[in-house]
Copies of this chain bind each other. A is one copy, B any other.
């Protein structure tokens, strides 16, 4: 992918509060990957935020002294045309929709979460058609571009792109890079000497080995020796006997499956107090945009890190660099299954260690798949593939099947009730379901 001119990057959803992270990453990575054009595109409703964050981006670049042109646009096709990379960080229906995704399931006694459970399903239903519209533009205007999906539910979105477009694409989550950083810090070694192995799919992920300086540290992590006091300790909160007999460290989102009752209580309590995550994020974003609007600000503000999604930008820039330079290094990415899991369809998206070549990621088969998790993995992937199809076809029966077969939905009758209420609540963003 070496090229004469500099690199063009299009950010769909450029008005997101995350953008300053990405801009910082591109500036720091300029030496290896000289970006010449950065296009921030957003929709009309996001125009104000795009203006604010875009101007901060311009000030950041200006301070860096680098020859990067920052463009703001409401016409995503202009941003995409001839791009080398297209990243997506969109939220269809904005935080108002997220609030519904979190609140409605809760009112039926079901986990209310943005990427997991009925909430995640409706986020997928709203998002996938919009993402596929972006794909149509990429196919036409930048057929060689790599699409990097940050948009949640990232695994399902990536699978939809693989199934329904010809766009070269990769899905990205920050969870794996956080694990890597935790290990490097805990064992006081550079990240390059750390290689955790993951099994599963996006947000349903187990760490099954943790090579640090060539030694697998998983056994001591499973024992939870308590020597790591940091807030990031991934084994915290898990039943010790469960952990040791599982033989793997479940990542955060598995609490929704393994500690369903506790998470439900937590969510209900939060709702009773100040609201679910949607409300929290709403407040954080408001504060962030107040900061961004400060015309003296020329760098990413510290407070952004509390927004969640730490190291997203680092993950993204790492990936772009490896694709651009053909680094052949190992990153954990969302890619098609191929033959990795023989019990999942070949075109299912999985989250897995990959060698990132100039032609794209090549997945590394995990050495070990705990047999305990195969069933759950298959059950969630079954739901995901049904939901993806429902998103594209707008078929209510398929949506019902997806909902019923989600492991967190207790029965057909609850699934029907949720489906009715959520289809109605989100109807403005579900044109496929109107016909």
State the A residues within 8 Å of B (CB): 1-2, 193, 195, 209, 211, 213-216, 238-239, 241-242, 244-246, 258-262, 325-326, 328-330, 338-340, 342-344, 355, 357-359, 362-365, 367, 371-376, 378-383, 385-386, 396-398, 400-401, 404-405, 407, 410-416
Contact = CB atoms under 8 A, between A and B. Distances in A.
Contact of A258 (B242, B365, B411): B411
A398 B412 CA distance: 31
Contacts of A329: 328
B330 A328 contact: yes
Contacts of A216: 359
A364 B358 contact: no
B405 A372 contact: yes
A383 B359 CA distance: 31
B326 A358 contact: no
Contacts of A258: 404, 411-412
Copies of this chain present in the complex amount to 4
A416 B258 CA distance: 12
Contacts of A404: 242, 258, 372
Contacts of A396: 241, 245
A375 B204 CA distance: 14
Contact of A372 (B245, B261, B386): B386
B242 A400 contact: yes
A207 to B, nearest CB: 15
Given A2-B214, A211-B326, A375 B364 contact: no
Contacts of A410: 260-261
What are the 9 A-B residue pairs with the smallest beta carbon separation, nearest first? A214-B358, A245-B397, A375-B382, A375-B379, A343-B343, A378-B378, A214-B326, A375-B378, A379-B379
Given A211-B326, A405-B376, A397 B365 contact: no
A412 B239 contact: yes
A365 B385 contact: no
B245 A213 contact: no
Contact of A262 (B241, B339, B411): B411
A174 to B, nearest CB: 21
A245 B398 contact: yes
A376 to B, nearest CB: 6
A241 B193 CA distance: 47
B416 A241 contact: yes
Given A405-B372, A413-B262, A214 B379 contact: no
Contact of A413 (B211, B261, B379): B261
Contact of A382 (B1, B325, B374, B416): B374
Contacts of A259: 411-413
Contacts of A397: 241, 244-245
Contact of A401 (B357, B372, B379, B400): B372
A88 to B, nearest CB: 24
Contacts of A244: 397
Given A214-B2, A261-B413, A343-B378, A367 B371 contact: no
A372 B258 CA distance: 22
A117 B214 CA distance: 40
A375 B405 contact: yes
A355 B364 contact: yes
Given A245-B398, A259-B411, A376-B379, 9 more contacts: A195-B326, A242-B415, A245-B396, A245-B397, A343-B378, A359-B367, A362-B364, A371-B382, A372-B401
